[in-house]
Structure formats: structure tokens, C-alpha cells
Amino acid sequence: MQITETLAEGLKHEFQISVPASDLDAKADARLVDLKGKVRINGFRPGKVPVSHLKKVYGRSVMAETIDQTIRDTNSQIFTERGFRLATEPKVTMPTEEKAVEDILNGKSDLTYTVAIEVVPAIQLADFKGFTVEKPVAEVTDAEVDEAVKRIADQNRTFAPKGEGAKAETGDRVTISFKGSIDGTPFDGGTGEDMPVVIGSNSFIPGFEDQLIGIAAGETRTLKVDFPKNYGAETLAGKAAEFETSASLVEAAHDTVINDEFAKTLGLESLDKLKEAARERLAAEFAGATRQRVKRVLLDKLDETHRFEAPPSLVTEEFEQMWNSIKAEMEAGGKTFADENTTEEAAREEYHKIADRRVRLGLVLSEIGEKNKITVTDDEVSRAVIERARSMPGREKEVWDFYRNNANALAQLRAPIYEDKVVDFILELANVTEKKVTREELYKDDEEKSAA
């Protein structure tokens, strides 16, 4: 066997391999001998079929299997001896000319092929004990607990009918029936009977609720609205529609009295217990925000301290996935790059940088986990599946079956668990200091990004 490296350019390597026909023939004959005691051919006793006859019957298929196995074994040998970690599957190029293929299969010609690979670079890990990470910690205040309880009360407020002839105002609940049409033609899903809508809740198409202001029970109006360009139903997106709408009841909201009795309607013993539950939920939310801030800072430090060439094919793959998603979102929202104060060229450059960072960080996290024997157990994955199922009441079995029968989905669930375990490992080594902050300061970065 002859192995010649024909390309060594950065992370890309290419080899030309030549395997003598005699080697292939010997391996194929060994395989035929092995088959001798297993096959049943009319006219021959079990185990007594001559190899020469087996070669006539199975020769081509056995040789094809031999070639496939030889390529896999040879490639594995090349990569192992050179300490290569592959970034992608190797690309094998075989002869395609019919006569050349026939000669190889018939053992008349040597097997010559090329294999092109892209490897993962050697990664020199930083000293994590030298990392300094500031951990923002926000304590839940009494005022924040009171605000949370007030929101719960608002969500559970009651409504009572307004007087005869009373007109609807923002915050009132109006029970309506409607029939929608576009250019005078009714459309699917455009009708509703006795549907309650709170004016100002933004639960209907933009502009719909505003036109209910001033309506009285027994009154009928024609509401004119435009479906958003990114509306889910393509047949309606961006279309102008009219809704013949009748109001049957107008109700005013009654403020909920926040006391022990209100807490009991929610299944809690007292107002103190309600406040305690609200405080615990806020504390959990703050802890989650703190975790995200710390993780973001840590990933930034890993990015800064691990600069190397990422495998181009992995970067391209990551970029294409992100870019296709961005383009689809923009098309659905009817937006252009000009609307985002950028150009397509600048946006592509920015997302390519993001793709490069993601690939490098993924490789670094993988290297850290591998060197420190960090793994994700089946129990941890099962708990994640259970949590996902619980988040979709009524569809638990459907969710469970989906993950059980979908290896890729299970891998996507495993990935963030692995990442979090590696992050925790680094944080145990790093110098982490706590800093007291307010809720506003804790969420500042997220709110600024949302505004942008």
C-alpha cells in the first residue's frame, strides 16, 4: 500500500492512496472462505462449496465490500497515526470511468483513490484559575414582591356589566360576534360568536380593539383593519379586511382586593403565602438572569483567550443555518436590511464572525470537557425530556415519544446540559466575586439588546 500526502494547507489535508490488487484479492478470498460454511447452494453439501464457485457467484459483491472496508480501515489508520481529529466526514474520491471500476472489481487493477479531510486544530487551553468573573446578584425587594402580587391580581380581576347604554372604554371587556371579509368575500377563520375581548389587551389584530371603544351592547359596527405582513396565514398577510361586529355585553373591570381571601382563590393559605410564592419565583428569575450574565462573561473570556483558525467547513455550515433563519424572519416580517440600518454585505460579514465565534467556543468547550472527563448522563437527559414534557400539558406522551425516536433532537437537548456542566467546571476554578445590583442593573444588558 502506498500513501502520499498531496495537500497540507492549514486545516485541510489530502492523501492519495494506492492499494495493490493482490492485497484486495487476498482479502476478498479470505472473506469467501469465511462464507464457505455459511451459504447454501444447490448441488453442494454445506461447507463443501468450492471457493472458485463462490467467487463466480459472489465475487463482485464481496470485492465491493472488501474495497469499502479497506478504505475505511486505511483512512482510520492515516488519521490515527497522524493524530488528526476530523472536523467533518472525509471526502473520498474514487475512479468513475466504467472500465477502471470494472478492472478494480475484477481484481485486475490496483485501487487508487483520494481522501480529503479538514481537521480540528490543536487547542491550547487557558489557565482558568487566572479568570476573574464578576457575578451580579440582585435581592428581591418588598416593593418588587408587591408589584408581582399586583400583576397576579390584575390577571385575575373580575368583570361586571356596565349600565344600560354604557359605552366601552379601554380596559373594559366586550363580548362580540363578528364576520370577516376581504373584498366582500368571507374567509376561513374570520367568524366568531360571543367572544370576550378586553380592549387594550392586544389579543386581536392591531387596530381591531381600538375600534371597539365607544361601542354599546346591541350596537353593530364595521371594523376595518389590515392584517400584518408577517401574519401566520399567507392568504391573509398584508390584506385589508372588514369585520361586521356586534356587541352583546359591555363589562367594566373590578379591581381585585388583595387579601387573604384572594390568596385562597389561588389555592394558597394566606396573603403572606402568596407573597412568599411571588418572592421565590422572582428569586428564581433573578438567579436565572445572574446565571446568563455570568455565562456570557465567561464565554467572552474563552473567546478572548482561545484564538485559532476554526475549521472553515464548520463555520460555513453554522453561518448558513443562521443566515437562512435570519432571511426567513426578515421575509416573514416584510423587512429589509435597510430597515435594520445595514446592508446585506455588512450583515453577512457580521453573522460570519458570529458563526466563527460559535464554532471556536464549541470546540473549546468540547476540549475542556474531554480533557476533564465531563459527561452528560442518561439520567440528566431523561430529566430534561421530562421537564420539556411538563412544559406542554396534555402533550406529555407526544413530547416523550418525539425525543425517544429522534436522535438528533435528543442530541440538541444534551448539548446545552454539557455546555452548562463545562461552564460550572470553569467557574469552580475561576476567581468569582459577587456584586450587589438592582433588578434594573441585572437586566440592563438584556433590555438594551431588546431595544436595539
307 and 445: one domain? yes
CATH number for position 99: 3.30.70.1050
> For the chain, how far is it from start to end, CA to CA, in angstroms?
61
In a domain, 442, yes or no: yes
Query: Is the domain of 250 the same as that of 272?
Result: no
pTM for this prediction: 0.75
- Domain-embedded: residue 201: yes
Count of Cβ atoms closer than 10 Å to residue 388 Cβ? 16
Give a yes or no: residue 141 inside a domain: no
> How much is the pLDDT for 43?
59
Let me know if residue 363 belongs to a domain.
Answer: yes
In the sheet with 12-19, reading across from the earlier edge strand, the strands are 2-9, 12-19, 111-118, 91-93
Residues 6 or more apart whose Cβ sits within 8 Å of residue 52:
none
Residues 39 and 184 in one domain: no
pLDDT at 55 (0 to 100): 72
Residue 212 to residues 203, 257, 333, Cα–Cα distance (Å): 13, 28, 27
Answer positive or negative: Cα dihedral of 351, 354, 356, 358. negative
End residue of a domain, out of 202, 228, 254? 254
Residue 418 belongs to some domain of the structure: yes
What is the DSSP code (8-state) at residue 209? Answer: G
For CA atoms 74, 75, 76, 80, the dihedral sign is positive
Q: Are residues 444 and 417 in the same domain?
A: yes
Q: Report residue 432 as a C-alpha cell.
A: 468569582
Considering the domain architecture, whether residues 169 and 236 belong to the same structural domain is answered as: yes
Q: Which domain holds residue 312?
A: 268-451
pLDDT at residue 60 in the model: 80
Phi, psi of 288 (to 5 degrees): -65, -40
Q: Is residue 142 part of a domain?
A: no
Same-domain check for residues 75 and 11: yes
CATH of the domain at 291: 1.10.3120.10
In a domain, 426, yes or no: yes
Q: How many domains does the chain have?
A: 3
Per-residue pLDDT of the chain (452 residues; tens, 9 = 90+): 899 999 999 999 999 999 999 999 888 888 877 766 666 665 565 655 666 666 776 678 888 889 999 999 999 999 999 999 999 899 999 988 989 988 888 888 999 999 999 999 999 999 999 999 999 999 999 999 999 999 999 888 889 999 889 999 999 999 999 999 999 999 988 999 999 999 998 889 999 999 999 999 999 999 999 998 778 777 888 899 999 999 999 999 988 899 999 999 999 999 999 999 999 999 999 999 999 999 999 999 999 999 999 999 999 999 999 999 998 888 877 788 888 889 999 999 999 999 999 999 999 999 999 999 999 999 999 999 999 888 888 888 888 889 988 988 898 899 999 999 999 999 999 999 999 999 999 998 655 554 44
Residue at a domain's end among 254, 276, 309? 254
Give the number of C-alpha atoms closer than 13 A to the C-alpha of residue 330, restricted to the C-beta side: 14
67 C-beta neighbours (distance < 10 Å), count: 19
Among candidates 115, 114, 104, which has minimal Cα distance to 22?
104
Domain co-membership, 106 together with 247: no
* 283 and 414 share one domain: yes
Other C-beta atoms closer than 10 Å to the C-beta of 113 total: 19
